Amino acid sequence: MAEKAVFDHAGCVVCVDAERRFAAALDSKFYDVDVVHLGEDKARIAEAEAAGVKSVPAFVIDGNVYHINHGADLSALR
């Protein structure tokens, strides 16, 4: 079964690029990707923060955070 992967982003240029390069290109056999726009879905900022997300774009997979480059600090999205 595919594992859940949350891709947190904020619509920024760095985020959109990472979404295209990675979130959209991961094999669906491995991951079921949940793309979350934290700028539009502020209710999920707390979830990202609790997982350890410091900035976007970032993936959260099985409790681990993978920051890809740096688009925006999470604190800037509140």
Residues that bind a copy of itself (CB under 8 A): 17-18, 21-22, 24-28, 30-31, 59, 61, 64-69
Which residue lies nearer to a copy of itself by CB, 42 or 54? Answer: 54
Q: What Å distances lie between residue 68 and 1, 19, 23, 57, CA to CA? A: 25, 10, 11, 6
CB of 46 to a copy of itself, least distance (A): 22
Closest listed residue to residue 57, CA positions, set 27, 18, 1? 18
Taking the C-alpha atoms of 35, 38, 42 and 48 in order, what is their torsion angle to the nearest 10 degrees? 80
Query: Minimum distance between the CB of residue 4 and a copy of itself, rounded to whole angstroms?
Result: 13
Q: In angstroms, what is the minimal distance from the CB of 18 to a copy of itself?
A: 7
